[in-house]
Structure 1
Amino acid sequence: MTSGISRRGLLRGAAGVAAAGTIGGCAMGGDDAKDTGTGAKGEVSAANPLGVKDDAPLEVVIFNGGFGEEYAKAHEAMYRERYPKAEIKHSATQQIAETLQPRFVAGDPPDVVDNSGGSQIDFNGLVSQGALTDLGALLDAPSLDDPSTKVRDTLLPGIVDVGSYDGKFLALNYTYSAYGIWYSRKLFQAKGWEYPRTWPEMIALCKKIKAAGIAPWAYTGVHARYMSWPILTAAAKLGGLEVIKAIDNLEPGAWKSDAVRAAAEAYYQLAVDGFLQPGAEGMDHIQAQTEWARGHAAFISCGSWLENEMKAVTPPGFDMAVAPTPSLTTGDKMSYAAFRGTGGEPFIVPAKGKNVRGGMEYLRVMLSKKAAADFTTKVSSLTAVTGAARGLSLGPGLTSVTKLIDDSQGSAFTWLYATYYRKLERERVNAATLELLTKRINAAQWCDKVQKSADEFAADPAVKKYKRA
């Protein structure tokens, strides 16, 4: 982990881990959690739309990972400004599941939990046991910045989707990651290269890059799923969001659609034509990103945590930037500017907390522009709050991310299968993508292999299924 934003800090999203999987079989208590009146309750008013009891204690538990805990202390101070009578108990740990699972089982969880990190509590277990508060009331509450605007209307695209299970908004993913293809503007300007907007342009440029003695693409073989991201992004842009929804819903043949196969064939071409960096098969993400930052490769697929994660090795003036995944054709259903954007660092309000209303109010405070800007300043990460980073001093990479978001004009999208069925991406898609990039299988075989894995998940009665509308 780095001292600021980290790879894990943004990839954690709402995925569960095996270490906490036992909670799915525990009786954690909590019914369907629609009642926001659980626990302490105050008078509802325009100034207090969630009905917070002003002197009710609030307990907040933070994952002490790449983002640290100082940002949370600042948010707690903002909550205390609104409710000076409330005592706030703050704690931070890297062992979220080990620390809190017994408390969920006992029916005595905290009021707010940053359920993140390698030891996060399995979301499938929490959802199936009704242990989480439905945060719909938070979404419909007025924002702190503008009482005429609902909280839901201040969030970036994809935040509600990635935090929703069976139609209920159960997790606020506070950070926002934009995914795309990264390159050095300094290198491109020096060579007279322009970033390609279509796949034919990409292949043409790769030939020039290779001729210049530079590997066109770096990638991490250990985490080869990083390259599945542009494949699925290209497929979505070509065929539309329905391509992704079919994958999320484990529909038969979803991974074998024409759009997915065309995208897989495009990225398989990088391997066939020798446009991938030699030795990448054995590199982890840091090694691959270091090779790219040292100018040994021109492109790399990654999320918006890249700049901060690589700040120790990035040369001065490198001027990194992210751009949309190139369109496969000029007739793609989505625009070139469309990109995958999604949330991470999931915050939850346990249904059995003593101060559920205060927990939701704490999240409303976090979603104010003041709180979001403070977070970005402290940890070099964007938040889920639209426009909260405007006017802040950002590095070139994060500045390019904000431009990517603005240029998309709301056309960002995401997929949820990796949230619903983590092992499908982390194990099956990861392994198949490495085989694709090393030419052990071709694009059609990649589609077949991943589809077979998805079918196994669909047929497994032990795997809880989710439906994306």
Structure 2
Amino acid sequence: MTHPGEITRRQLLRRIGIAALAAGPGAGLLSACATAGTGGEPSAAPSAAASTSLQNPFGVDAKKPLEVIIFSGGYGDAYAKELHEELYKKKFPGVSVKHGGTQQIGTQLRPRFVGNDAPDVFNNSGPESMDLAALAAESQLADLAPLFDAPSIDDPAKKVRDTVTPAVLDNAKINGRDLVLNYTVSHRALWYNAKLFESMKWAVPTTWAEFTALGETAKKEGILLFAYPGQKGPYYQLWNVLYTAAKIGGNQVIIDIDNLVDNAWNAAPMKQAVAAWADIQAKYGDKAYFGLDHTQTQIKQLQNKLLFYPVGSWVENEMAKDKPMDFEYAIAPIPDVTAADKMPYGAIQVGVGENFVVAARGKNPQGGLEYLRIMLSKEGARGFTQKTKNLTVVYGAAEGLDLPTGLTSAAKAQDAAGQNIITDARFEGWYKELFDYGTEQINVVMAGRITPDQFCANMQKKADAVKKDDSVAKQTRSQ
């Protein structure tokens, strides 16, 4: 078990909010649905609507309304409605802020972009999130470089870019332009109930042999070793397979996939990872979970019907209202799959996520930039952590806060990982068609309807098609 007092809050902030992110920047959460449009380059920064100043660097018209749309998922949307929007209204007294919370970002916003009626700011996340690369190609996203170069609200002598972890800047770019703000720090690994393990005197497995042995033991207790949601969440397992491949073969496995390198999906570590998890599903899983969504699956875990669940650190807040007293979220790194894994046991994924963008053709893009600047203030970031129990990318914003046990567990795991940080797969935001295809195929292979080799071959065929498609803007990364 882990307890908040085992490490200091200062250590927690340093380990999660700063140190490891600089070593292993991640990408944002999901992208999705493409829109219609005329094409072109990403739009330039919005022109000032009023005179600029140190306090109003974007020239926001204080009387112009602002519209904000938030993905109401694991973090909810109260942090926006009750905190960030209120801070915006405090700065511009009397201004009207229209708030919208939804889990259907694509369904709601796609027709609005087509009709040139985009909201000023939107939080692009969840299974229906928008394809940001497509929006960028259609000149729909405002340039965020002025935001990063603007004076910080807390210290005008500093630029905003100097107050956030470098991973934010690394992951802001599409086609070389700063177009996306990733706001949160997340840890994606295997999550479990530390209290159950303590009561059963079970050790967290460090090798695949120990993992499968625990599966046999748990089976006798009527508990599944592992499950993931087959509806609205199969990408959780796609992430898990990709991170396992990186554990086996190093981060270059994921970098090659992102860069559309020939035969990247057919690399041996990728095949080993898919085979390992397909075997776990066949022996210790339950196909009935393919019909459950993420919330239903997470309820099953809270009922101790499954041990390990592949998800990110937002799960603790997402399930806070349902979590019983005898359940304590804790994080487990992926066990060693082979004796020759390139990354040692304890390697863990740490990244930035939760995309926020400003619509270039919105009615108030200047206000959108200011809204993001308010989010990146210490007051805005600290309040987000208080409401969601998750950290942001802003240095020092969580100092002194009481943080939940799951987040403390993640901090300890990250500390143990040191430089062994597994990178995010960025193709999920770069090539929507490829990632969506992967979320379909992962269910197929995990259900045993195709072999792991067939899964990799299918993914490679789709990646090759994307690579040959001149209408798809190509992105590259070096690390």
Partner of 1:231: 241
Do structure 1's residue 92 and structure 2's residue 91 form an aligned pair?
Answer: no
Residue identity matched to 1:87: V
- 1:245 equivalent in alignment to 2:255: yes
Q: Mapping of 1:188-267 within 5 angstroms? A: 188-222=197-231, 223-267=233-277
Shift in CA distance, 32/128, structure 1 to aligned 2, threshold 3 Å: closer
**What is the deviation of 1:247?**
1.1
Aligned to 1:25, the other structure's residue is in SS state coil
- Structure 1 Cα separation of the partners of residues 38 and 369 of structure 2: 25
Q: Does 1:152 align with 2:156?
A: no
| Structure 2 residue aligned with 1:5 | none
Q: How far apart are the structure 1 equivalents of 2:165 and 2:179?
A: 17
Q: Deviations over 1:364-418 (max 9, x none)?
A: 2101222112123234444333453443334433443454455555735211111
Q: 2 CA distance for matches of 1:70 and 1:304?
A: 17
Question: Structure 1 residues 371, 26: closer, same or farther in 2, change over 3 A?
Answer: same
Measure how far apart 1:337 and its partner are.
4.2
SS of 1:451's equivalent in the other structure is helix
CA–CA distance in structure 1, aligned partners of residues 445 and 210 of structure 2: 22
The match for 2:31 is 15
CA–CA distance in structure 2, aligned partners of residues 157 and 330 of structure 1:
34
Change in Cα spacing, 1:412 to 1:430, as seen in structure 2 (3 Å) is closer
Percent identical pairs in the alignment equals: 37
Select the residue among 282, 292, 295 that pairs with 2:301.
Answer: 292
Unaligned runs of 5+ in 2: 1-26
Greater shift after overlay, 179-188 or 289-298? Answer: 289-298
Tell me the residue number matched to 2:143.
134
Shift in Å at residue 161 of structure 1?
4.3
Deviates more, 1:174-183 or 1:66-75: 66-75
Q: Is the 8 A contact 1:108 1:353 kept in 2?
A: yes
CA distance in 1, matches of 2:346, 2:50: 46
1:282/1:139 CA distance change after superposition, 3 Å: same
Q: Could you say if the C-alpha distance between residues 111 and 294 of structure 1 is closer, same or farther in structure 2, counting changes exceeding 3 Å? A: closer
Please tell me whether the aligned partners of residues 41 and 137 of structure 2 are also in contact (alpha carbons under 8 angstroms). Answer: no
Query: What amino acid sits opposite 2:333 in the alignment?
Result: P
Could you tell me which of 440, 445, 461 is aligned with 2:454? 445
| Residues 416-436 of structure 1 deviation map (CA, whole Å, 9 limit, x = unaligned) | 11122234333x223332233
Rate the CA distance shift 1:246–1:395 in 2: closer, same or farther, 3 A: same
Out of 366, 370, 376, the position equivalent to 2:375 is 366
Question: Could you say which residue in structure 2 is the equivalent of 1:24?
Answer: 36
Give the TM-score normalised by the residue count of structure 2.
0.79
Partner of residue 465, structure 1: 474
Q: What SS does the aligned partner of 1:220 have?
A: coil
State whether structure 2 residue 66 is matched by structure 1 residue 59. Answer: yes
Distance 1:234-1:108 versus aligned 2 partners, 3 A rule: closer
- Structure 2 counterpart of 1:33, one-letter code: S
For the residues of structure 2 that align with 1:221 and 1:91, how far apart are their CA atoms? 31
Structure 1 residue 448, shift from structure 2 partner: 1.4
1:184 corresponds in structure 2 to 193
Residues 294 and 353 from structure 1, CA distance in 2 versus in 1: closer, same or farther, beyond 3 angstroms? closer
Shift of 1:347: 2.1
Let me know the Cα RMSD of the aligned residues. 3.5
